[in-house]
Amino acid sequence: MLLLIQDACFDRHITPAGHPERPARTAAIRAALSAAALPDRRVRAEVPRAATPEELMRVHAPEYVARLREFCAAGGGMLDADTHAVPESFEVASRASGAAVQAAEYLLSGAGRTAFCAVRPPGHHAGRAYAMGFCLFNHAAVAAAHLRARDPEARVLIVDWDLHHGNGTQDIFFADPNVFYFSMHRFPFWPGTGSATETGTGAGVGATLNVPLEAGASRDRIREAFAAGLKTIADRFQPTWLVISSGFDMHRTDPLGGLSLESEDYATMTWALGEQYMNRGARGVVSVLEGGYALEGLAQSVVAHVKALMDLDLK
């Protein structure tokens, strides 16, 4: 049974007029998933709870968590040129990370093998001690760290298919040999990181794989690059758990994009990930929403991805 975590609380993170990362994103996803009429017997719905300080501080510096809490409590404002917070933002971002932990716990319990968290603000640009690129807390990283904390033998593969490189996630796990970070993204492009030469440091050398994509890359090129990346990883890393940073801004209609995927391509990539790993020992997958700013393309891509996750849950 797929775990689906979504809630109107994520609409309370308000951004300035015209900002692409807006409450309408999660509202559109909720409406599309409702219209898709997913069978009740195959979906377990939960509302998100806030992450605990301990859960957040596995990946974020205590002083950063305290500073962000104080910033929001004081009224919020601009954290950088792109990243905005309002008084409610600390709680909303904490619930987004808490949803990722709930999903990890669901997998650990054995109740199901797949989970999708329809949360915002996104997270993969947030580093240990900084907010960036619309992101306050790094939900995928929090989920991976929770899996490692609860299952000390865990080997976690984070797959990031957002248009933008997840620099925060890479930074957090760059020296960790037990968390493999695989990102497929447009390059060169914002935030400027994610070249193929970035492969890890120290004990983590070889546990980062970046697959840069040129602007205008075709659907076939993107799907082939993804499949090749999965094969490369399989030769060097056998994960017990999967975490997906699910950005949907490679969709051809995305205003920040310049790439060409259709909604059904996200189902294809989901099935490919399951075929490569969930049929070969991986115990489950937590998928967490990242980017995606064309509302219809985002919503339909999420529906395709969620339906594919439901199929994987049955394998």
Task: Enumerate the active-site residues.
Answer: 125
What type of residue sits at position 15? Answer: T
- State both tokens at 249: 């801004």
Residues whose CB falls within 8 Å of the CB of residue 152, separated by 6 or more in sequence, listed in order: none
DSSP for 279-305, please give it: TTT---EEEEE----SHHHHHHHHHHH
For tokens 């499949």, the residue is 227
d(CA 65, CA 10): 19
Could you tell me which residues are beta bridge partners of residue 117? 5, 288
DSSP for 240-263, please give it: SEEEEEE--TTBTT-TT----B-H
Could you tell me which residues are beta bridge partners of residue 158? 181, 243
Pick the closest to residue 138 from 119, 113, 151, 111 (CA basis): 119
